[in-house]
A and B are shown apart, each in its own frame.
Chain A
């Protein structure tokens, strides 16, 4: 992990994938009020927090939004940045969902801190401020968020037995350690981390990486769905995750319901879309001309009809 810690920004992006599963589940958490479980009984792989006032009321017509954050874990509280940002929207009624990949360098208004890169919000104010910033950027309520770091992500993927990923193109990146040929690869935690960190193989750098993280999340969803087709399987998965998660604002029973519902989503009904951006000031990226219409399309029901 030493090498990874030297490149924390890159690595942070990786974490999002696994979170996808949970993310989808968590989206639904809102309909339950849970207890607080401050500490996981094992090493912490990820944490889930209720970060907003919005509450899912159980109406199947109500879309729910959940933020997944891969942080770069720079070694101290308040220092980590949200380098992998994925806003997942779920529509229970339509059984459709959308993963909105948000480039880390996107310029955004951070409440109380002016304009900065969107990923700086995590360092300024933790997961709650990160969620608040993304919520304001996109125009939705984000009641729940989860975050993980390099070690947590790696352990999580290893913990679920690895993930089969259909690598879309050759990857040969010494920075991330991603060396893959196109085709299905069963990735362990380190390989998954490398796949999700690789940006040097692509002309669009972090933008492609962000999309690849979404691809990984969908692969994880597909596999966990197949591995846990029934309630008993889900309970087994939750017991595993429950030993390695910090929950704040929801309980394990809530998490079960969320995960179970999340696993009900067919990956083919989940869109993975990157937020359009363009050159901005300095290294900041400005939202693309069609970003606002995309946000509106996404915000109304979590499903993209016109994009």
Chain B
């Protein structure tokens, strides 16, 4: 499996262009070191109080969480047929239970035809939006995910699109996915009608 993680580096690259006001945002793209070259496109803080910049540590952690999810639930599943169960470590217990339970077919790519070659991300972006309270403290982060992948599989090419939001909140001393609203579409050899599309939401994004 290709290299993953190291999101902090790209996050640092974005530090200089993070939101500095209640609506400031950056449009400069920076790569997240993952096997699908996830790009952190914008960071934006919506503040109920003073204008604040996107805290670098929060941005780095959030980007890392998204990366861990994509790698564990999507990339690993495409390569091996089964997601890496460790991806749930970046979810809150409630969200993890739903993600690996009734929402598994949407949140992960478990059971999808294994790839026979490189995964080609035609689009793989994340935009972070933070909610700051009246004191300027970030209390929530929304990660808008756009993931469009192509991968060779036996008998052709698998096309996979996953769009939606991951909502991160502090939990157990770290930022974790507390909710999600994800939609997935799959097309290609071996994709059943049931797996062709789906949408799931949990927690604060419901």
Interface residues of A (CB under 8 A from B): 37, 39-41, 58, 230-232, 234-236, 238-243, 251-253, 256-257, 260-261, 264
What's the nearest-Cβ distance from chain A to residue B78, in Å?
Answer: 25
Asked if B127 is an interface residue, CB under 8 A from chain A, the answer is: yes
Interface contact A252-B133, CB-CB below 8 Å: yes
Q: What are 21 A-B contacts defined by CB distance under 8 Å?
A: A37-B134, A230-B181, A231-B204, A232-B127, A232-B144, A235-B130, A235-B131, A235-B142, A238-B131, A239-B22, A239-B47, A242-B133, A243-B49, A253-B131, A256-B140, A256-B204, A257-B179, A260-B179, A260-B204, A264-B201, A264-B206
Interface contact B181-A41, CB-CB below 8 Å: no
Question: Which residues from B are CB-within-8-Å of A251?
Answer: 133, 139
What's the nearest-Cβ distance from chain B to residue A232, in Å?
Answer: 5
Interface contact B48-A41, CB-CB below 8 Å: yes
With contacts A243-B134, A252-B48 taken as known, whether A232 is within 8 angstroms of B206 at the C-beta atoms is: no
Q: Tally B residues with Cβ within 8 Å of A.
A: 29
- A-B contact sample (9 more), CB < 8 A, given A256-B204, A261-B206: A37-B133, A39-B134, A41-B134, A231-B204, A232-B144, A235-B129, A240-B48, A253-B140, A260-B204
Asked if B148 is an interface residue, CB under 8 A from chain A, the answer is: no
CB < 8 Å neighbour of B140 from A39, A41, A235, A241: A235
What's the nearest-Cβ distance from chain A to residue B166, in Å?
Answer: 8
Question: Which residues from B are CB-within-8-Å of A40?
Answer: 134
Interface string of B34-68 (1 = CB under 8 A from A): 00000000000011111000000000000000000
Closest 8 CB pairs of A and B: A242-B48, A239-B46, A231-B142, A231-B165, A253-B139, A257-B204, A252-B133, A235-B131
What's the nearest-Cβ distance from chain B to residue A100, in Å?
Answer: 24
Interface contact B129-A232, CB-CB below 8 Å: yes
What's the nearest-Cβ distance from chain A to residue B176, in Å?
Answer: 13
With A and B bound together, what is the CA distance between A109 and B47 in angstroms? Answer: 42
With A and B bound together, what is the CA distance between A232 and B131 in angstroms? Answer: 9
Question: Which residues from B are CB-within-8-Å of A240?
Answer: 48
Closest B residue to A259 by CB, please name it: B204
Interface contact B46-A261, CB-CB below 8 Å: no
Asked if B167 is an interface residue, CB under 8 A from chain A, the answer is: yes
With contacts A232-B144, A257-B204, A260-B205 taken as known, whether A41 is within 8 angstroms of B49 at the C-beta atoms is: yes
What's the nearest-Cβ distance from chain A to residue B93, in Å?
Answer: 12
Question: Which residues from B are CB-within-8-Å of A232?
Answer: 127, 129, 142, 144, 165
With A and B bound together, what is the CA distance between A257 and B164 in angstroms? Answer: 17
With A and B bound together, what is the CA distance between A236 and B22 in angstroms? Answer: 10
Asked if B169 is an interface residue, CB under 8 A from chain A, the answer is: yes
Question: Which residues from B are CB-within-8-Å of A234?
Answer: 142
With A and B bound together, what is the CA distance between A231 and B164 in angstroms? Answer: 9
With A and B bound together, what is the CA distance between A243 and B50 in angstroms? Answer: 9
With A and B bound together, what is the CA distance between A197 and B163 in angstroms? Answer: 43
Closest A residue to B164 by CB, please name it: A230
Asked if B106 is an interface residue, CB under 8 A from chain A, the answer is: no
With A and B bound together, what is the CA distance between A230 and B205 in angstroms? Answer: 7
Question: Which residues from A are CB-within-8-Å of B142?
Answer: 230-232, 234-235
Interface contact B206-A260, CB-CB below 8 Å: yes
Interface contact A231-B133, CB-CB below 8 Å: no
With contacts A239-B132, A252-B134, A256-B204 taken as known, whether A231 is within 8 angstroms of B48 at the C-beta atoms is: no
Closest A residue to B163 by CB, please name it: A230
With A and B bound together, what is the CA distance between A238 and B130 in angstroms? Answer: 11
CB < 8 Å neighbour of A252 from B22, B94, B131, B165: B131
Interface contact B206-A231, CB-CB below 8 Å: no
What's the nearest-Cβ distance from chain A to residue B103, in Å?
Answer: 14
Question: Which residues from A are CB-within-8-Å of B48?
Answer: 41, 238-243, 252
Interface contact B131-A239, CB-CB below 8 Å: yes
Q: Which of B132, B140, B169 has the most CB of A within 10 A?
A: B140
Closest B residue to A92 by CB, please name it: B206
What's the nearest-Cβ distance from chain A to residue B136, in Å?
Answer: 10
What's the nearest-Cβ distance from chain B to residue A190, in Å?
Answer: 25
With A and B bound together, what is the CA distance between A241 and B164 in angstroms? Answer: 24
Closest B residue to A35 by CB, please name it: B133
What's the nearest-Cβ distance from chain A to residue B26, in Å?
Answer: 15
With A and B bound together, what is the CA distance between A52 and B129 in angstroms? Answer: 33
Question: Which residues from B are CB-within-8-Å of A260?
Answer: 179, 204-206
What's the nearest-Cβ distance from chain B to residue A50, in Å?
Answer: 17
Interface contact B129-A242, CB-CB below 8 Å: no
What's the nearest-Cβ distance from chain A to residue B192, in Å?
Answer: 28
CB < 8 Å neighbour of B46 from A37, A235, A264: A235
Closest B residue to A263 by CB, please name it: B206
Question: Which residues from A are CB-within-8-Å of B130?
Answer: 235
Question: Which residues from B are CB-within-8-Å of A257?
Answer: 179, 203-204
Closest A residue to B45 by CB, please name it: A239
